[in-house]
Amino acid sequence: MSTRKQVRQALVTLLEASGVFNQVFGYGPTDLKSGTKVLCVYTDTTTHDFISGHKNNNFYHFHLDTYIKRTGGESDENDLDDLHEAVRSVIRTNIPNANWNELELSENSDALFAEVSGVAYRVEQHKLKVKVSTS
């Protein structure tokens, strides 16, 4: 059985291994140290579904936030688009694996402008639901 913490750490490891991101954090840091092509994986909500005394489904919800340091050019948007596709690709190719039964990436993502520790970023937030079944 995988706990929420183990699943989050497995997601970080999986996304780091993609080689697309310069940094992958297993939390939402308050300072990205002016990094670019950063991904943050952090917990949202959890649901437990007890089917019987012998079957249990855990649904862990995470945010996968990509950060591009803004330079003010079109390359910011191109990089954001590339990271969006990388997240989708990694998730699609890892359903299921040893840590979970299913991954469900929301079809809708939110793209916005943000400032982190005085640095301007282009951010895209993806929502991921992970199903872990135990028996």
Domain ranges in the chain?
4-134
**Of 54 and 74, the one with more pLDDT:** 74
**Of 54 and 83, the one with more pLDDT:** 83
Q: Rounded CA gap, 38 and 22, in Å? A: 6
Range 26-46 average pLDDT: 94
| CB-based contact 59:131 (threshold 8 Å) | yes
Task: Please tell me the pTM assigned to this model.
Answer: 0.91
CATH topology of domain 4-134: STM4215-like (3.30.2000)
**pLDDT number for residue 50:** 72
Amino acid at 119: V
**pLDDT number for residue 54:** 66
Q: How many CB atoms lie within 10 A of CB 18?
A: 15
Percent of the chain with pLDDT over 90: 81
Establish how many alpha carbons lie within 13 A of residue 16's alpha carbon, considering only the half-sphere containing its beta carbon.
11
9 contact partners, CB below 8 Å, separation of at least 6: 26
Reported confidence tier of residue 53, pLDDT bands at 50, 70, 90: low
**pLDDT number for residue 49:** 81
